[in-house]
Each structure stands twice: as C-alpha cells, then as structure tokens.
Amino acid sequence: MANGEKPLSDILDEMALQILMIEPGDLSVVGELLDLVEKILPGYASEDIPVVIQQMANTFRGSLEKLIMGELDDSAENYELLGECISRMQEIARKEGVADEATILAFSATLKKIGFAFDEKELLGVAGFGLAESGEAQPEVEAAEVLSEQEPVAPAKAQPMPDFLQDKELLSGFIEEAFEHLESIEVNVISLEQSPDDMDIINNIFRPFHTIKGVSGFLNLKTINKLAHATENLLDDVRNGKREMDSGVIDIVLTVGDVLRSMVENIKDVLEGGPDKYRDTDITGYVAEIKQLQLGEGAAPAQTAEEPPVAPAPQAEAEPVISSPASPQAAAPAPPRQPSKSAAPAQALPPQQAAPAKGPAQGAPAQAQRKIGAAIKVDVEKLDALVNAVGELVIMQSLVRQNPLVSRIADPKLTKDLSQLTKITSDLQRTAMSMRMVPIKQTFDKMIRLVRDLSKKSGKKVDLIMEGAETEIDRNMVDSIYDPLVHMMRNSVDHGIQPPDEREKHGKPGTGTVYLRAYQKGGSMLIEIEDDGEGLNSKKIRQKAIERGIISESESLSEYDLNNLVFVPGFSTADKITDVSGRGVGMDVVKKAVEKLRGKVEVQSQPGKGSLFVIRLPLTLALIDGIMVRVGRERYIIPTIAIQESMHPEREKYNTIHGKGETLLVRGELVPIVRLYEMFGVEPTFKDPCEAIVVVIENEGRKRALMVDELLGKEEVVIKSLGGLQDIQGVAGGTILGDGHVGLILDLAGIVSSTKDH
C-alpha cells in the first residue's frame, strides 16, 4: 500500500459505483472512471496490485477512451457491459490476483461485445496462460535500448521505455510543436470533409504528419514515428491520386490524431514526472487498419509509397507557415508527384473553395498570418511576474507624482518629464497586458470537431460558421471558457437545431446553422452562439418554472426574463434526456462558470426562429472594473458588472419586515438591504439608509441593496490575492489603490448568499 493509496478493492468498488451512475451522454462520469482506473494501471499502481488486474485495467481504460472519443457507442447497454467487466476484475481481486482463464476470457468477451477490439492473448499471457505469440506484438520496441531504472511492475509484458530522454530541451520543443501540428491536422481534416478534393488542404494535413514523423524519428520516439509514418504513407497515396480522400481515410486520420495526441501527452508526463509515467500505447491495431485501407481499397500497390515524398524535410518543416490556399509556394513541393487529373480541378477553382469551406477555411489563413510574425515562447510565470511588476510601476509612479513635495515643484522640465514617464508606463502596461492575450481561435477550433461529432451522432445537418476567431482573450480565461462553450454548443445542436425533416416542414433549409462569434465591445469581450433552430418556448419555460417553484403563478414576466430563467439552477428545457446533452441540466452551470470569470450570460430567442446566447466577459482577469465606495474609514471596490444602480433611497420606499428584515422598493421589486458596515464591523458615517447611499447589485439573479456612505468613483484595479488569507466571506481579493493602501474587492456572491432572500 505504497503512498497510503487506497486498497485495490476500494478502487474497484468505487468504479462499480460510478458505472451505476453513468447515464448515456454524461461523459463526465466516464472521465471520473478514467481517473479511477488510472490508479491501478501498470506503472501507476502500487506494487501489491496483481499484474493481471493492472493489465485488465489497462485494457478497460482503452475501452473508456474509445467511448469518450465516440468510437464506441455511448449507450446504456455498453455501460452495463462495462459494469460486468468491473465485476470480473473484482472477482479476480478477491482471489488475490489468481486469475483463472475463464474469468479473463469472459472479461475479454464482454469488452468485445461492446465493440472494443484488442488482443486477449496478452492478458492471458500476463496471467500465466503463456501463449507463444505474445511476444510478437512489439518486436521493435523490445529491440530498443532498455532504460536501466525501468520499473519491474509488469514483468510479463516487459515494455521497455524507449530511450528518448537524452535531449530534454529538444523533446519539450517537439511536444509543443506536435500539439500545434495535431491541432492544425484536425482543423484541416474537418475542412476537408466539406471540400474533399482540395489538394492544398490535403497537403496541409500531410506536412504536419511528415514533420512529426521526421522529428519523432530523430528523437527516438519509435511508436509515434511508426504511426505517423504509416499515416503519412496513406496520405501520400491520396496526394498521388492513388486513392480517394474518403470518409475512411478521414476517420482514421482523426483517430490517429487523437492517439498521437495522447502519446505526446504521455511523453510530456514522462518529461515532467520521470520515466515511471511512461505508458506504452499499442499502435499495431491502427497501423494494421491503415495498411488495410491502403491495400484493400487503394487501387495501386500501397508499398511503393514507403519512401517519403520528394519534398526535402527542412522545407517541409518550414512549410506549414505558409498555408493560405492561394499561396504558390505552398503548392510548390507537391506538383511533381501530383497526377494532373485530381490536381487540375482543385487548382482551377481557387475562388470557389473559400465559399464551401466556410468557418474552418476562414480560420486557416488567420493562423497562417499569426505564425508568420517571429515569435518566442516565454514561461507563463515570467510573464505574470512582468505584468505584476509593471502594475507596481504604474502605482509607484502615480505615488511619486502625487507626493505633495514633488507636486509643489514648479519646474517645467520636471512636469514634462513626469508626464512623459506616465505615458511610458501606461504604454508599458498596455503592452504587458496584451502579452497575456491569445486569440480565441484555439478554443473555437475545438468546437468544429465537437459540432461535427454531435451532428453525426444526432443525424442532424449543421453548419458551423465562426466569426472573429482572432479576437484576443486573456490566456488564463481560455481554459475556463472551454467547458461552458462546449455545453452551449451542445445545447444549440441538440435542442436548438431540429432534425432535417422537421426543419423542412417549417420551411427552413435542411441544414441548420450555428454561428459562433467573438468580438470586443466597450471593454468587454463578447462571445455569441446563435442557432437558427427551434428557439426557446417561453410558454413551456413559464409552465416549468411554476412547476419547479421558481416563479409564482401570478408573476408576470417579460419574454426576455422568461427565457433567461433557463439559467436558474435546477431548470431544464429538454423534455427528455438525450444522448447528446446529457440530462439537459447545465445552463446554470454555464452561468456559474461565466460569473466566476466575472462575466455575464444571457439569451435572446424568437420561437421558431432560433436563439442567441451572449457571453460577456471582461477583457482580462487581471483587472477589474469597479466602483470604489466608502464605508466609514474603509474603502471597498464593488465590481461594476454586477451593479444595477445606486441611489439615495426615498423614505416611503424603505420597508421593514417584522421590524427586522429591511427592504427597499426598487422599480417595483423588494430588494433586501445589506448594511455593509454591520457585515464588516466598521463604524459608518450614516446608519439611516435614507441618508446613506444604496448600491443595487445582482448576483446569480438575486438582488441586494448595499448600504454605503459615499461613492468615490470608478476605478480599474489590479486584483491581488490576500496572501495567506483565504475564503473570507464577502471579500474576493485586494488591490493596491492609487495612494498605496490596500483596498478590498467585494465578493458579491458571498454577500448575497450570506443574507436571506425574502
């Protein structure tokens, strides 16, 4: 039980529990299951876990991965079968790793029933039912040099880690590069689906594979090299007109892309966590599949394509930079080997290519432009340190300027110099801030694949049109915005867009359209997701809201307010649980995630015409727009985005309930009053709400009127944590004010939840 880890039986029990809770479409539970199973994988597991179980877990994980990638059916039957597999593992665990052949065979058979193909001989081999061929699978890897510190966890399988850790610098460079390449492959493959004959796009897919193959070979990453090589050969056939670019090729290229990505991720883990993290990926299946594609359907003998194309490697590596469709250089290496029959139409129709390719094609030139400018990679920590230091500089220079002694000096030169200094520092601040910004394209590109998979699965036809992918967003926000976006895209495809026949009945084109837009407006970044689908049914929403007790029967709400009820926790518009969007819950989760980023989300919808979801985010996480208020001697900052209005309350609008709960009538709504001075234990100037000022704020749909003494003005401040002080109710963080003092930023979620609704 090394590292005090959970005993095997606990892990298995937990897995069994998880599988019970899975509902089709809810891949998050599968993710949790993956996390669990990883604890008992070869190389991760503590040593007392029987090798057989480790190997079974490994196979099991393979099937989970396929499920997540959508290669296996995400259906209730399959989950049941997976549950069976877990109980087989439990069975063996109970016998302390002494496996009998029948159990393993049953395990294998169950997995195969799900549609997960693998070689059960290996499993049997590990369990001691030795089979002669079991060594055959990895002859090449075995030939590789064995690292001396290789762990003896899976002795029967003896997968030595290839020695690729010699040049870590090169390796980490390769990892970065490979991720970029894989991403560009995915984008290009998907645009290829819309214009399968476009030779430029095929070249754009071919080249990254070629580069990955070349570099991985050089770095002794044998499995990656082998897989990339096989795929490259297949693509070369396509380039040479030996075979068509059909859905089979596209699917395998996407699959290989995913496999390569996970392998590269593993290399990254190894680099960070040491050789123990090494996980061998069995690629023989993929390679065989590729070979079969080449042999089975390709008209010409496939083996001739063994050699890489004439394009010399260095040139090919430089090539992805110039990938705009019209570029003559991009086409240059290809023509000598291109049979004219497929090249001619593609080359002849450059103006038309752009139109059908739509979103993805739009993205491609933008990426090319981005890469052309020389760039260096910088450690994020260094960048953050720079941004922090610049923030200090700005404050310090304003402190110096405001120093009474300095400001009394009437020297024109000093005045001029000081204003010059101010200009330079604010320039510097702007540049430093912009360095943290990245185009949202990366996140958008992932949506292409998502929409493709979703529409395939649901049998709907959906066009994704992306606009403004070059809009920049704080890099710290990129990760956090991904999940909400996925959720909303799913929502749009699943609930918004109707099936083709139904669309046609309503006089719409069979293919639905989802727009994904990003743009900046007035200091905010806006992301819009618009579909031309069903739209929200406000009557149904109303009915449901009443059912759930969210609103009362008598309440009259505008269409807009009704529609935005979908963001209220526990509300769902989907009548039935569908495979795609899970249980239909989750718009409240989207709202929460967006509010965490200090953003807002809202929906506008026209029944029958479609809906428009708008996410409004601050441009950067480092700064917050706030109104500074004074309470007694203290100054607090209230985030502007939550503020609705501020006022001197009129006496007749002030009410108490049972002499205790205080409310204010604001535009016909009773809003609870929060006396900030009481909450924060400060001696205020005013204790009478009608003498003080109230600021009406809204958080997650709940309003509060905060009582303050004075509004001091609008301020853009840099957010800082309060050192070791954490989770202080009502305080989100601190900032350094213009006079060098620390001001506290209010946490409205905390304030709202700590005071009662009425």
Partner 1 sequence: MEAATANVTQGNVTHGTEQIANELAGKYLTFSLGDEDYGVGILSVREIIGVMDITAVPHTPSYIKGVINLRGRVIPVLDLRLKFDMEPQDYNERTCIIVVEVQGQTAPVQVGMVVDSVSEVLNIIAEEIEPPPSLGSSGETDNILGMAKIKGDVKILLHVDRVVGEGVLSRFEEAGQEGN
Distance in Å, CB of 436 to partner 1, minimum = 17
Residue 753 lies near partner 1 (rule: CB under 8 A): yes
Distance in Å, CB of 684 to partner 1, minimum = 13
Number of Cβ atoms within 10 Å of the Cβ of 294: 22
Q: Which is nearer to partner 1, 379 or 553 (CB)?
A: 379
Residue 731 lies near partner 1 (rule: CB under 8 A): yes
Residue 757 lies near partner 1 (rule: CB under 8 A): no
Residue 681 lies near partner 1 (rule: CB under 8 A): yes
Give the separation between CA 741 and CA 174, rounded to whole angstroms. Answer: 46
Q: Which is nearer to partner 1, 194 or 755 (CB)?
A: 755
Per DSSP, helices labelled H in 631-738 are 676-680
Residue 626 lies near partner 1 (rule: CB under 8 A): no
Give the separation between CA 604 and CA 528, rounded to whole angstroms. Answer: 11
Q: Which is nearer to partner 1, 514 or 718 (CB)?
A: 718
Select from 408-416, 434-442, 509-517, 719-727 the region that touches partner 1 (CB under 8 A).
719-727
What is the DSSP code string of 729-749?
TTEEEEEE-TTS-EEEEE-HH
Tokens read off for 190: 């998907």
Among 679, 693, 695, 717, binds partner 1 (CB under 8 A): 679
Q: Find, among 57, 7, 51, the residue nearest to 35 by Cα.
A: 57
Distance in Å, CB of 742 to partner 1, minimum = 4
Among 355, 728, 757, 758, binds partner 1 (CB under 8 A): 728
CA distances from 575 to 86, 438, 572 (A): 32, 39, 8
What is the DSSP code string of 365-403?
HHHHHHHHS------HHHHHHHHHHHHHHHHHHHHHHH-
Among 379, 547, 652, 727, binds partner 1 (CB under 8 A): 727
Could you say which DSSP state residue 605 is in?
Answer: E
3-state helix, strand, coil in the chain (%, to 5): 55, 15, 30
Select from 258-266, 295-303, 485-493, 679-687 the region that touches partner 1 (CB under 8 A).
679-687
Select from 65-73, 159-167, 364-372, 733-741 the region that touches partner 1 (CB under 8 A).
733-741
Distance in Å, CB of 624 to partner 1, minimum = 14
Residue 707 lies near partner 1 (rule: CB under 8 A): no
Select from 175-183, 273-281, 389-397, 685-693 the region that touches partner 1 (CB under 8 A).
389-397
Q: Find, among 695, 699, 745, 739, the residue nearest to 718 by Cα.
A: 745
Is the separation of the CB atoms in 465 and 359 below 8 Å? yes
Residue 548 lies near partner 1 (rule: CB under 8 A): no
Helix (H, G, I), strand (E, B) or coil at 644: strand
Residue 168 lies near partner 1 (rule: CB under 8 A): no
Give the separation between CA 646 and CA 666, rounded to whole angstroms. Answer: 10
Q: Which is nearer to partner 1, 274 or 740 (CB)?
A: 740
Q: Find, among 577, 550, 569, 561, the residue nearest to 495 by Cα.
A: 577
Residue 220 lies near partner 1 (rule: CB under 8 A): no
Which residues, including other chains, have CB under 8 Å from residue 282's CB and lie 6 or more apart?
118, 137
Residue 725 lies near partner 1 (rule: CB under 8 A): yes
Residue 684 lies near partner 1 (rule: CB under 8 A): no
Please state whether 512 falls in left (phi above 0), alpha (psi between -120 and 50) or beta. beta
Q: Which is nearer to partner 1, 323 or 699 (CB)?
A: 699
Per DSSP, helices labelled H in 653-694 are 676-680
Residue 117 lies near partner 1 (rule: CB under 8 A): no
Q: Which is nearer to partner 1, 586 or 730 (CB)?
A: 730
Residue 734 lies near partner 1 (rule: CB under 8 A): yes
Binding mask 38-77 for partner 1 (x = CB under 8 A): ----------------------------------------
Q: Give the amino acid at 181.
A: H
Distance in Å, CB of 704 to partner 1, minimum = 13
Please state whether 17 falls in left (phi above 0), alpha (psi between -120 and 50) or beta. alpha
Residue 148 lies near partner 1 (rule: CB under 8 A): no
Residue 558 lies near partner 1 (rule: CB under 8 A): no
Number of Cβ atoms within 10 Å of the Cβ of 133: 10
Tokens read off for 230: 């096989």
Is the separation of the CB atoms in 550 and 528 below 8 Å? no
Residue 392 lies near partner 1 (rule: CB under 8 A): yes
Per DSSP, helices labelled H in 492-537 are 500-505
Among 680, 694, 699, 708, binds partner 1 (CB under 8 A): 680
* Number of residues this chain uses to bind partner 1 (CB under 8 A): 33
Select from 189-197, 462-470, 654-662, 750-758 the region that touches partner 1 (CB under 8 A).
750-758
- Tell me the β-bridge partners of 488: none
Residue 630 lies near partner 1 (rule: CB under 8 A): no
Number of Cβ atoms within 10 Å of the Cβ of 593: 20
Is the separation of the CB atoms in 347 and 335 below 8 Å? no
Half-sphere exposure of residue 551: CA atoms within 13 angstroms, side-chain side: 20
Residue 137 lies near partner 1 (rule: CB under 8 A): no
Give the separation between CA 723 and CA 734, rounded to whole angstroms. Answer: 9
Among 211, 730, 732, 748, binds partner 1 (CB under 8 A): 730
Select from 102-110, 114-122, 218-226, 726-734 the region that touches partner 1 (CB under 8 A).
726-734
CA 227 to chain centroid? 26
Residue 634 lies near partner 1 (rule: CB under 8 A): yes
Residue 740 lies near partner 1 (rule: CB under 8 A): yes
Residue 744 lies near partner 1 (rule: CB under 8 A): yes
Distance in Å, CB of 391 to partner 1, minimum = 7
Residue 428 lies near partner 1 (rule: CB under 8 A): no
Residues of the shown chain interacting with partner 1 in the complex, contacts defined by CB under 8 A: 388-389, 391-392, 395, 634, 679-682, 720-731, 734-736, 740-744, 750, 753-754
